[in-house]
């Protein structure tokens, strides 16, 4: 219990260790998370996503600076990819956020994807809960560099920033489903480069052709120029922070926030059920050697995997029900 109290009082060492235990799926970790759960649910969660090198970490750094001017405490979860070959990872997002390293109001934690394909890591939901329990006002979740459809971030964030850069393709790209549909705020980064205006036009035309019900949120587009022209860069990143704050206000006033929180709760429950039901069944079948035997049977075409799974689910679900 002492650990729980210390984490909810903001202890960085213990919080970071718990996040690691959750990543590594240590048995005690979820027991701790259960106790922390009553402290969660009060933070504003911002997602930031976009292609590799678009400037997500740099914009996260700028957002931290803006939010710190308002004295908000901040947690950052920055996800980078795990090597499919070695299982190792280079987590390099912090490099862009060095100036906040000593600020006690900012806690930055890097996570590796460890095989997850949706742009985040499996532990990210749990890690968000730890930061919430620490009492962070705002949590920024930075995804890995993504392509067209890694959209898991919408299950975790209240507001999503999609960072785009010029020169990534023609207007057909902006017509496609996926990543562009999840933006609450668009940032066109490196807007000093050729093609930025055209990208703005294409995104505007996309938004113009999207049917919005009266009073609905229309994602604003913020053009952010050269990082090395600090005056204008800061002005534009302040605008980005303001648009995100506007979106949060809209979510609260329109009642949409409740819906997003409900969506998140449903996803968490789904995930927990899957973990709670699937993992023990697989562990049980693996330990008894049955999984291997069934795999051999399906390989020899003696049984199909669908019937095998049905039979297993009947057996396990029934024994659970009788208890």
Kindly list the residues in this chain that would bind other proteins in the complex (CB under 8 A): 12-13, 16-17, 19-20, 23-27, 82-83, 85-92, 94-95, 98, 101-102, 107-110, 112
Q: Residue 83 Cβ, how far from other proteins at the closest point, in Å?
A: 6
**Rounded-to-integer distance, Cα 122 and Cα 278, Å:** 15
Choice between 87 and 305, CB closer to other proteins: 87
Q: Residue 19 Cβ, how far from other proteins at the closest point, in Å?
A: 7
Choice between 98 and 309, CB closer to other proteins: 98
Residues 6+ apart with CB under 8 A from 191: 166, 200, 223, 224, 225
**Rounded-to-integer distance, Cα 138 and Cα 136, Å:** 6
Choice between 140 and 240, CB closer to other proteins: 140
Q: Residue 63 Cβ, how far from other proteins at the closest point, in Å?
A: 18
Residues 6+ apart with CB under 8 A from 86: none
**Rounded-to-integer distance, Cα 114 and Cα 109, Å:** 15
DSSP 8-state symbol, 154: G
Q: Residue 22 Cβ, how far from other proteins at the closest point, in Å?
A: 11
Q: Residue 79 Cβ, how far from other proteins at the closest point, in Å?
A: 12
User: Which of 23, 83, 95 is CA-nearest to residue 56?
Assistant: 95
**Rounded-to-integer distance, Cα 254 and Cα 191, Å:** 32
Sign of the torsion formed by the C-alpha atoms of 118, 245, 106 and 165: positive
Choice between 112 and 281, CB closer to other proteins: 112
Choice between 98 and 272, CB closer to other proteins: 98
């Amino acid at each position: 219990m002492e650990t729980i109290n210390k984490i909810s009082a903001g202890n960085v060492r213990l919080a970071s260790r718990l996040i690691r235990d959750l990543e590594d799926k240590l048995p005690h970790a979820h027991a701790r998370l259960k106790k922390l759960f009553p402290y969660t649910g009060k933070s504003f969660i911002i997602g930031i996503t976009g292609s590799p090198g678009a400037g997500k970490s740099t914009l996260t750094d700028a957002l931290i600076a803006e939010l710190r001017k308002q004295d908000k405490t901040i947690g950052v979860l920055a996800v980078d990819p795990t090597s499919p070959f070695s299982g190792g990872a280079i987590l390099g997002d912090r490099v862009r956020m060095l100036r906040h390293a000593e600020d006690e109001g900012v806690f930055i934690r890097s996570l590796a994807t460890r095989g997850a394909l949706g742009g985040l890591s499996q532990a990210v939901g749990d890690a968000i809960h730890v930061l919430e329990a620490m009492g962070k006002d705002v949590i920024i979740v930075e995804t890995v560099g993504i392509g067209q459809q890694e959209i898991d971030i919408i299950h975790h964030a209240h507001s999503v920033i999609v960072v785009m850069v010029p020169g990534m393709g023609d207007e057909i790209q902006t017509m496609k489903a996926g990543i562009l549909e999840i933006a609450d705020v668009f940032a066109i980064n490196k807007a000093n480069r050729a093609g930025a205006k055209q990208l703005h036009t294409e995104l505007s035309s996309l938004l113009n052709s999207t049917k919005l019900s009266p009073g609905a949120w229309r994602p604003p587009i913020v053009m952010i120029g050269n990082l090395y022209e600090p005056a204008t860069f800061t002005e534009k990143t302040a605008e980005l922070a303001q648009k995100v704050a506007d979106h949060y206000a809209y979510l609260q006033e329109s009642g949409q926030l409740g819906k997003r929180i409900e969506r998140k709760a449903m996803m968490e429950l789904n995930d927990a059920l899957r973990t709670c039901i699937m993992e023990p069944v697989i562990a049980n079948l693996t330990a008894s050697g049955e999984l291997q035997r069934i795999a051999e049977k399906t390989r020899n075409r003696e049984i199909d995997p669908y019937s095998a799974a049905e039979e297993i689910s009947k057996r396990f679900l029934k024994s659970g029900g009788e208890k």
